[in-house]
């Protein structure tokens, strides 16, 4: 059975998709952009955007009853690969070893003009 996960502690979906889907033993979290769910605003710096996007991801996982330690795979979308080192440092502060498998790709544009977006797959122990 597939269960939809949603929380007001992360931005609402801006299209026909769910914040996350719980498949019983796995949770698939849609890409989180750095929008503050309380104000609807987005910070300007890539550092602050990385913190906000990862916080949103963490909050969606919490709504599914999981933490960041449950994440096994992430995909990071960057508008500019020159931001990789900065984002990588912030990313590392949200996870502990063993770190999730990860892909990081540069993209032409991200919704709402964000500098990054992060999605993940988590498993239930």
**Does this model's pTM top 0.85?**
yes
- The model's pLDDT over 35-84, given as tens digits with 9 standing for 90+, comes to 999 999 999 999 999 999 999 999 999 999 999 999 999 999 999 999 99
Catalytic residues, by residue number, are 104
Query: Is the pLDDT reported for residue 103 higher than 90?
Result: yes
Nearest one of 82, 71, 85 to 118, comparing CA atoms: 71
- Structural fold of domain 3-123: 60s Ribosomal Protein L30; Chain: A; (3.30.1330)
* Domain assignments of the chain as residue spans, ordered by start: 3-123
At how many degrees (to 10) do helices 84-94 and 46-63 cross?
30
């Amino acid at each position: 059975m597939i269960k939809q996960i949603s929380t007001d502690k992360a931005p609402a979906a801006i299209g026909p998709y769910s914040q996350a889907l719980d498949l019983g033993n796995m949770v698939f979290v849609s890409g989180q952009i750095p929008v503050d769910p309380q104000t609807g605003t987005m910070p300007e710096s890539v550092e602050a955007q990385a913190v906000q996007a990862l916080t949103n991801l963490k909050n969606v996982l919490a709504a599914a009853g999981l933490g960041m330690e449950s994440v096994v795979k992430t995909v990071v979308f960057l508008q500019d690969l020159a931001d990789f080192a900065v984002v990588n440092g912030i990313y590392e502060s949200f996870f502990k070893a063993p770190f999730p498998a990860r892909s990081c790709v540069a993209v032409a544009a991200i919704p709402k003009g964000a500098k990054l977006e992060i999605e993940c797959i988590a498993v239930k122990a």
